Amino acid sequence: MALLNLRISAIAIFLWTARVVSAQISPIVDLGYAQYQGAVNTANNVTHFLGIRYAAPPLGDLRFRAPQPPANMSGVQLATMQPNECFQGSSGQSPTNPLEGRATQIVDTEDCLFLNVYYPSNEVGVPLNNLPTLVWIHGGGYVSGGISGYNGEDIIRQSNRGIVVVIIQYRLGLFGFLAGSAVKKNGALNAGLLDQDFALRWVNKYISKFGGDPSKVTIWGESAGAGSVLQQVIAHGGQTEPQLFRAAITSSTFLPSQYQFDDQIPEAFILLDDLFSANHASVLIHCMTAPDSMSCLRAVDATTLEAVNTNITTSAFFGTFVFVPVVDGAFITQRPTLSLLEGKVNGDAVLSVTNAFEGTNFVDQTVSVTASDYSLELFPRFGSLQALGVGALYSGLGTDLFQVDAVQGESIFICPTYYLLNAFQGRAFKGEFAIPPALHGMDKSYYFPGDSPPPFNNAAFIDAFAQSFTSFIINLDPNIKVDPTTITPPLEYV
């Protein structure tokens, strides 16, 4: 009997080693292409693996191309520090169309395709099994942001240790969303979205090694992260194979104008570099007029290209973002609103939350402008009749500035949210965050509080609000709280 017990124990140890080899509080996971060593937070028994490489560095010939599998790595890779983030840009700072460029410090790197994994475990990092999994996609207007500002332990705590959390990075700005015919010919349009898709495929393949269930994945993002969720929902005309997620959550669904990849507007963005480069020698125009445009751009050093990225992103119309997804005809087959109207979606259910005043942060509060005039700047294809229609529609909403705030918020965030909800008829939930001042992004601190409490530090509300999301991830219903004693502000079932 003792020998039998010994054999059973040996078999159990062998099976665990095939997934995660644990040495004290430094578990090791073998992904085939690399072994990573994480760490256990012994205060709460949550294990984290930080900076797992999910794709090859997009350097050299891989710049502006679709992500590729990472190369095999020898030895054990330490995964206990936050990884480098992708090159950063910013929102537009110009009061009308581009007037000036405001260069910012060049930080971060092209080699940035990493993800973090957090999971509930025992004291030596052994995970639970078959848990629902959240994949968080950060926001930042597709030009900024990263994963270091999000601690998956927050979500695990709010779920009563019932969720595995993955937080991903993707290429930003010019590096991830350069558009145009030349990119289509010798590169990858929407490379940043393809990075996200590649990370989701990584989750589908490997998350079981961390205790997650690949059939119970929910994708969630805020602002451009929520816009990214929308793009993944409509990807491949709603026919992504295999199914990479069963549900989606959007916090402030961000959907600016999305043009065809070769439309004159995205093609014209390279002119901004010529207009605002310090030496008026446009790198983009030089390369885009070269016989092999993309090879030319791949030969430009990263520091120069990041300076170009900064020039372009900061010179856009105030509160807008130059490098955003386009209709590429393959991954994004048509304008998102059309796919949503036709119900061509991936996933089975959706939860969307917006803030009461989404637009205020993206409008220059020091400039006096009418809603009609503002709409002409926000939507360059508008004619005078459309602009006058906007003015008439919003004329009863108080001051000009308040009307402009509403135009921005409703057109870019609120209305796209309802398009998304209507595409999931009978499987959609809607909430609004209205704690004053209820500006864009203010809801985030209630589910990712970090080390500081949110402004309205009411424990009952925080639990109820945060558990709406974790309950949806677990049950596909935000009104079934993880803790049955939690108050329930019901989210509307659409």
What contacts 393, CB < 8 A, 6 or more positions away? Answer: 371
Confidence of residue 450 (pLDDT cuts 50, 70, 90): confident
Q: How far apart are alpha carbons 228 and 273 in whole angstroms? A: 26
Q: Take residue 293 and report the two structure tokens written for it.
A: 């445009």
Average pLDDT over the chain reads 89
* 361-381 per-position pLDDT tens digit: 999 999 999 999 999 999 999
Query: Strands across the sheet with 46-53, in order?
Result: 39-41, 46-53, 114-120, 164-168, 131-137, 212-222, 247-251, 349-355, 428-433, 492-493
CA atoms within 13 Å, Cβ hemisphere of 355 = 27
Q: How far apart are alpha carbons 99 and 80 in whole angstroms? A: 44
* 408-420 per-position pLDDT tens digit: 999 999 999 999 9
Q: Determine what percent of the chain falls in helix, strand and coil, rounding each to the nearest 5.
A: 35, 15, 45
pLDDT at position 272 is 60
Pick from 108, 98, 253: nearest CA to 173 = 108
What contacts 157, CB < 8 A, 6 or more positions away? Answer: 44
* 91-122 per-position pLDDT tens digit: 555 443 332 232 333 348 999 999 999 999 99
- Judge whether residue 281 has pLDDT over 90: no
Radius of gyration, CA atoms only, the chain: 23
- Provide mean pLDDT across the span 41-70: 98
pLDDT at position 45 is 96
Q: How far apart are alpha carbons 392 and 287 in whole angstroms? A: 45
Q: Take residue 146 and report the two structure tokens written for it.
A: 């990263």
Q: How many CB atoms lie within 10 A of CB 98?
A: 20
Instruction: Name the range with the highest mean pLDDT among 63-72, 423-432, 485-494.
Output: 63-72
Q: How far apart are alpha carbons 166 and 204 in whole angstroms? A: 11
What contacts 303, CB < 8 A, 6 or more positions away? Answer: 106
Q: What is the pTM of this model?
A: 0.90
Which single residue is written with the structure tokens 């089975």? 348
Q: How far apart are alpha carbons 413 and 222 in whole angstroms? A: 11
Q: Which domains does the chain have, with CATH numbers?
A: 2-493 (3.40.50.1820)
- Provide mean pLDDT across the span 257-263: 96
What contacts 282, CB < 8 A, 6 or more positions away? Answer: 270, 271, 273, 274
What are the φ/ψ torsions at residue 327 (nearest 5 degrees)? -80, 115
DSSP bridge pairs for 220: 136, 249
pLDDT at position 461 is 92
pLDDT at position 489 is 62
Angle CA 75–78–79, to nearest 5: 135
In this structure, which amino acid lies at residue 417?
A: T
In our burial notation (b when 16+ CB lie closer than 10 A, e otherwise), range 139-167 reads bbbbbbbbbbebbbbbbbbbbebbbbbbb
Confidence of residue 279 (pLDDT cuts 50, 70, 90): very low
Least confident among 8-22, 281-295, 306-320: 8-22
Q: Take residue 23 and report the two structure tokens written for it.
A: 């040495």
- Provide mean pLDDT across the span 51-62: 98
* 236-254 per-position pLDDT tens digit: 999 999 999 999 999 999 9
* Intra-chain end-to-end CA distance of the chain, in Å: 59
